[in-house]
Chain A
Amino acid sequence: MAFYIFRRFVNYFILSAIATCLAYVVASLALDPASKYYGRNPQPSKQTITNILNGLGVNPDVPVLERLWNWIVNLVVHGSLGNTVGGTSVVDQIVSRSGVSLRLLLIGSVIGAIVGVTLGVWGAVRQYKFSDQVVTYGSYLVFATPTFVIGVLLMIGATALNGAAGMQLINFTGEYSAGLSGSWWDLTADRAVHLLLPTVALVLIGAAGYSRYQRSVMLDVLSADYIRTARAKGRSRNAALVRHGVRVALIPMSTFFAYSFGTLVSGSIMLEIVFSFHGMGEFTLNAITQSDINAVAGSTLFLAVLVLFSSTLSEVLYAALDPRVRN
């Protein structure tokens, strides 16, 4: 089993490396880091611009594969991802920003998965009943609504709630209240309140997708012969469904979790911007608008590593759920 997981990990590692290299090449070809200097007044001299580009390692006159090679060597030998156009280290930026994003992503995707799976199982067991219809239409509604609209609607709701309560119940601007000081507990509580709305938004998006898939997988399992056999043994319907149904239905879901993680990441990028979080989402978006090749490559690497870990985790989950793939 350990070997199986290891093999899958190596597989995903290679895929992540290829994805990151491709992202570097595409960013290098598509983005023009020199352009922002041409618009300046007074325009810097050609030599100055070339020096800046050379310093960043993004000079378009150097062949792209050579730049990629330098970037890889720099990463492997020095553990450096180069500098941003602002002159700060990309690695430093990622380290300081990743915590913000990871908190939101991890909490949001885990709760989203749990809520989605629960709703899916519930909907399958109560197929075509009123509650199942409500969940179905609700999730299609969430599907059809752009992420930022969900964010804004939640903000409007929170504002109304705060107004009705006459006090600031829910804070939703920024990652924590500006200038706050106090005990560790106060800081954590403040962060939790700020995290509430974006997490709810992310959970909605995740749960809408997961519940649809879980429902259809569960419907297949419901008619399985071993469920009937379990009931013929004398178990109640609910016990048979939970003990024999849910675990089998989770097996294909564990793969789906890994692949839907990417969708959640893009959703969280939008949410960070809507809720003014200074996380990796903001970083990535700024990198693209500023034609910052190093930052784009760095944030792609960050996402690739996230996908690497979530995929490996889903393999662990798969092996834990299904004895047939072990050894």
Chain B
Amino acid sequence: MSEPLSTTAAVKPLLEIKNLQVGFQTQNGLVPAVNGIDITLMPGQTLAIVGESGSGKSTTAHAIINLLPGSGRITGGEVLFEGRDLTRLNEKQLEEVRGRMIGFVPQDPMANLNPVWSIGFQVEEAIRANGIATGKEVKQHAIRVLKEAGLADADKRLRQFPHQFSGGMRQRVLIGMGLSSRPKLLIADEPTSALDVTVQRVILDHLATLTREIGTAVLFITHDLGLAAERAEQLVVMYKGKVVESGPSREILENPIHPYTQRLVAAAPSLASRRIQSSQKNLTDLGYSAPRAAAGLDLVEAAEARAGKQAATTTAGGPAIKVDALTKIYKIRGAKRDARDFKAVDDVSFTVERGTTMALVGESGSGKSTVAKLLLRLEDASSGTIAIGGQDTATLRGRALLDLRRTMQPVFQDPYGSLDPLRNIGNTIAEPLQVHRVGDRASRRSRVDELLDQVALPSALATRYPNELSGGQRQRVAIARALALKPEIVILDEAVSALDVLVQAQILRLLADLQAELGLTYLFITHDLAVVRVIADHVCVMQRGKIVESSTVDKVFDNPQQDYTRELLNAIPGANLKLGV
């Protein structure tokens, strides 16, 4: 990153947000989302806004270019861009600013490209709208923009459609469009949250190089503190629509002042794995142990507790899960009716001891979720065996299969999609009991109360509906539902990936407590290696359907054997931060 320019008195700020207030009009009146924030960004600088969902960080980004969704509107304050107040511009003037002077890279590359128009059309549209080129030059310019964004065969790809692109390639297209007119400011709203860590790293490196070359200032919005600290020289921490702390990234990371920031630092998995490494090298005295305010959320503490427990675990009664040479082949129908085989899972073997946690780590498409489906017998394996508690599951039918399901329950990624919106929480948790005909109405109800208590939710929640709950509460409900049948094994498929860091830390803590209390065996499937350190005992790293490395957590983190594992570890945001060393 470039040297901070703020020291030069002659340089005026590029963007100055003064006392900005944004509200959303609802039936109950105006609900404020941003309550008077101040942010100053110098030309060429990178500034990150960090906060959890609902903190108002994205709303701030949208307010700058006045593209607030639905009923949102700016209710006060100024957004000075090169001294001009953007909130006072009319629509026509704003169209001149958008794209041309302020570029925008949106969050979800899957939803931000129109599926029915070709990539070329959408890039050329950005070029035409800003009058960068006309006539035949537009196409040439589009090719140049895409090449810059890192698509080498851009001229061939112009006629392709978004669905023919991977997530990373789409995000490159969006970055290319955002930078196509060499804007002075680029707003990047969680540009890589939907991507794998390794792809995220490559894309953000590329973005940094590009913006440095062009001299574009970047306003970087993210929920990941480690990522923010790694990518930006200035940090702004937002909480409930207010800026709670701002300043140089390193300072905030090393010496967070506001309690919220302290909790954020303690709970960030990306930083935690770094801190765990540090603490093991007896660097604790350098002062990155969690601030006291964050007790109970600190992931380092949790990981250490786990390490102690792990040593004491006895492996009685054989492994809970034993997978041997598991293979799943899908037939893929090609363009000309030819079918070819795709090995989603390729000769995978692993064992999970009772009461321990096995993490299955890999990028999207590595086959880790397919393994979960095979284990749950939601799909049948092409070859290989799965033994649950010593019993081969492939031959189970009817009654016996139902019994298997009872011992093994899943928790899925999306707490919004995995709860039926028309069922109240009590019925949702009781459903597995009804399906398996466990107990009568009264005993089911008391079991629901007991389960809600186990996942630390008030029993009053039983009569509420999912839309009244937060993401973290919903995931607790999903866990309670999984525990209803007193299973021995819980399969957690990206169970914390969709949650904010603080909530994520709480859920991880809950899972650890439940494991200690109930002796559960976890198969923890995730793309986030940072979380693994906190929750798991053993790790299997998967790549293209195969297990490339399998060992204990400490060995994998401290002494990775495979290049791919090293690549994954390096891609953890904040992995390269030199914390006080």
- Could you show 18 A-B contacts with beta carbons less than 8 Å apart? A225-B106, A225-B111, A225-B112, A226-B113, A228-B112, A229-B113, A232-B104, A232-B106, A233-B98, A233-B104, A233-B129, A233-B177, A234-B96, A234-B129, A243-B117, A243-B125, A322-B116, A324-B163
Q: Are A234 and B91 in contact (CB under 8 A)?
A: no
B70 within 8 A of A: yes
On whether the beta carbons of B67 and A233 are closer than 8 Å, the reply is no
Instruction: Give CA–CA (A167, B247) in the complex, Å.
Output: 84
- The chain B residue with its CB closest to the CB of A239 is B129
Is the CB of B195 closer than 8 A to any CB of chain A? no
Which of A105-113, A188-196, A244-252 faces chain B? A244-252
B125 close to A229 (CB less than 8 A) = no
**Binary A-proximity of B392-420 (CB < 8 A = 1, otherwise 0):** 00000000000000000000000000000
**Chain B interface extent, by class:** 35 or more
Is B324 close to A, CB under 8 A? Answer: no
Give 6 nearest A-B pairs by CB, closest first. Answer: A234-B99, A232-B104, A234-B129, A225-B111, A233-B126, A226-B114
Chain A residue numbers with a CB within 8 Å of B117 are 243-244, 247
Report how far A324 CA is from B465 CA in the complex, Å.
Answer: 36
CB closest residue in chain B, given A247: B116
Q: CA–CA, A236 to B108, complex, Å? A: 22
**Residues in A whose Cβ lies below 8 Å from that of B372:** none
Is A126 in contact with chain B by the CB < 8 A criterion?
A: no
Inter-subunit contact B125/A233 (CB<8 Å): yes
**Is B564 an interface position by the 8 A CB rule?**
no
Name the contact of B98 in the complex, choosing from A224, A232, A248 (C-beta under 8 A): A232
Q: Answer whether A324 and B67 are a contact pair too, CB < 8 Å, given A234-B95, A234-B96.
A: no
With a cutoff of 8 Å between Cβ atoms, the chain A residues found around residue B107 in the complex are 225
Distance, CA A10 to CA B178, complexed state (A):
46
Q: Choose among A230, A244, A248, A323 the residue that contacts B161 (Cβ–Cβ < 8 A).
A: A323
Chain B 155-166 interface mask (CB, 8 Å, partner A; 1/0): 000000101000
* B100 contacts chain A at the CB level, 8 A cutoff: yes
Q: From known contacts A234-B95, A234-B130, infer whether A324 and B108 are also in contact, taking CB-CB under 8 Å.
A: no
Question: Inside 8 A of A230's CB, which chain B residues have their CB?
Answer: 114, 125
What residues of B have a CB within 8 angstroms of the CB of A234 in the complex? 95-96, 98-100, 126, 129-130, 181
A236 & B95 in contact (Cβ 8 Å cutoff): yes
Q: Does B9 contact A (CB under 8 A)?
A: no
Closest Cβ of chain A: how far from B251's Cβ, in Å?
32
A233 & B130 in contact (Cβ 8 Å cutoff)? yes
- How far is B100's CA from A238's CA once the two chains are assembled, in angstroms? 19
C-alpha gap A3/B333 in the complex (Å): 14
Does A323 contact B67, Cβ atoms closer than 8 Å? no
Rounded to whole angstroms, the CA-CA distance of A203 and B111 in the bound complex is 36
Pair A231/B106 contact, Cβ less than 8 Å: no
| Contact, CB under 8 Å: B163 / A236 | no
Asked, given contacts A324-B161, A327-B335, whether A237 binds B91 with beta carbons under 8 Å apart, the answer is yes
A47 located at the interface, meaning its Cβ lies under 8 Å from any Cβ of chain B in the complex: no
- B458 surroundings in chain A (CB, below 8 A): none
A43 adjacent to chain B (CB < 8 Å):
no
B115 lies within 8 A of chain A by Cβ: yes
Q: Name the contact of B112 in the complex, choosing from A3, A226, A323, A324 (C-beta under 8 A).
A: A226
Q: Which residue of A lies closest to B109 (CB)?
A: A225
Q: Are B104 and A251 in contact, CB atoms less than 8 angstroms apart?
A: no
Distance (whole angstroms) from the CB of A316 to the closest CB of chain B? 15
Contact string, A245-262, partner B, CB cutoff 8 A, digits 1/0?
Answer: 001100100000000000
> Do B125 and A248 touch across chains, with their CB atoms under 8 A apart?
no
A103 adjacent to chain B (CB < 8 Å): no
Residue among B70, B113, B115 with the highest chain A CB neighbour number at 10 A: B115
- In the complex, whether B478 has a CB less than 8 A from a CB of chain A is no
Contact B108 A225 (CB under 8 A): yes
For residue B525, which residues in chain A have a CB less than 8 angstroms away from its CB? none
User: With A233-B126, A323-B163 given, is the CB distance from A224 to B111 under 8 Å?
Assistant: yes
User: Would you call B111 and A226 a contact (CB within 8 A)?
Assistant: yes
A235 CB contacts on chain B under 8 angstroms: 95, 99, 125, 129
A247 CB contacts on chain B under 8 angstroms: 116-117
- Is A321 interfacial (CB 8 A cutoff)? yes
Using Cβ atoms and an 8 Å threshold, which residues of chain A touch B125?
Answer: 230, 233, 235, 243
A223 near B114: Cβ-Cβ < 8 Å: no
B69 CB–A CB distance under 8 Å: yes
B300 within 8 A of A: no
* Complex-state Cα separation, A228 to B69, whole angstroms: 8
CA distance A327 to B106 in the complex (A): 30
CB neighbours of B100 from chain A (8 A): 234
Listed residue (A224, A234, A321, A327) with the most chain B CB atoms within 10 angstroms of its CB: A234
- Chain A residues contacting B69 (CB-CB under 8 Å) are 223, 228
List CB contacts (< 8 Å) of B69-126 with chain A.
69-70, 91, 95-96, 98-100, 103-104, 106-108, 111-118, 125-126
Q: Of A223, A228, A327, which one neighbours B67 at CB under 8 angstroms?
A: A228
Q: Does B272 contact A (CB under 8 A)?
A: no
Chain B neighbourhood of A244, CB < 8 A: 114, 117
Interface centre among A231, A233, A247 (most CB of B within 10 A): A233
B112: chain A residues at CB < 8 Å are 225-226, 228-229
Give A324 to B161 CA distance when docked, in angstroms: 8
Contact A248 B115 (CB under 8 A): yes
- Closest chain A residue to B102 by CB distance? A232
The answer to whether B98 and A323 touch across the interface, beta carbons within 8 angstroms, is no
Q: Is B65 an interface residue (CB 8 A)?
A: yes
- Cα A230 to Cα B174 with chains together (Å): 11
Residues in A whose Cβ lies below 8 Å from that of B111: 224-226
Cβ-defined contact, B114 with A248, below 8 A: yes
State the Cβ distance, A141 to closest chain B Cβ, in Å: 28
Cβ–Cβ contact B65 & A232, under 8 A: yes
Given A226-B112, A233-B98, A247-B116, 14 further pairs, Cβ under 8 A? A3-B337, A223-B69, A225-B107, A225-B108, A229-B174, A232-B99, A232-B103, A233-B126, A234-B96, A234-B100, A234-B181, A235-B99, A323-B116, A327-B335
Give the contacts of A201-235 with B (CB-CB under 8 A). Answer: 223-226, 228-235
State the CA gap A323–B112 with chains docked (Å).
16
Give every chain A residue within 8 A of B95 (Cβ-Cβ).
Answer: 234-236
B-facing mask of A63-107, CB < 8 A → 1, else 0?
000000000000000000000000000000000000000000000
- CB contact between A229 and one of B104, B118, B130 (< 8 Å): that residue: B104
Min CB distance, B434 to chain A, in Å? 34
Nearest neighbor of A236 in chain B, beta-carbon distance: B95
User: Which residues of chain A come closer than 8 Å to B67, judged between CB atoms?
Assistant: 228, 231-232
Q: What is the CB-to-nearest-CB distance from A46 to chain B, in angstroms, rounded to a whole number?
A: 60
Chain B residue numbers with a CB within 8 Å of A323 are: 115-116, 118, 161, 163
Q: Which residues of B contact A251 (CB under 8 A)?
A: 116
Residues of chain B within 8 A (CB-CB) of A224 are 111, 114
Give bound CA distance, A251 to B98, whole Å: 29
What is the bound-complex CA distance between A229 and B112, given in angstroms? 6
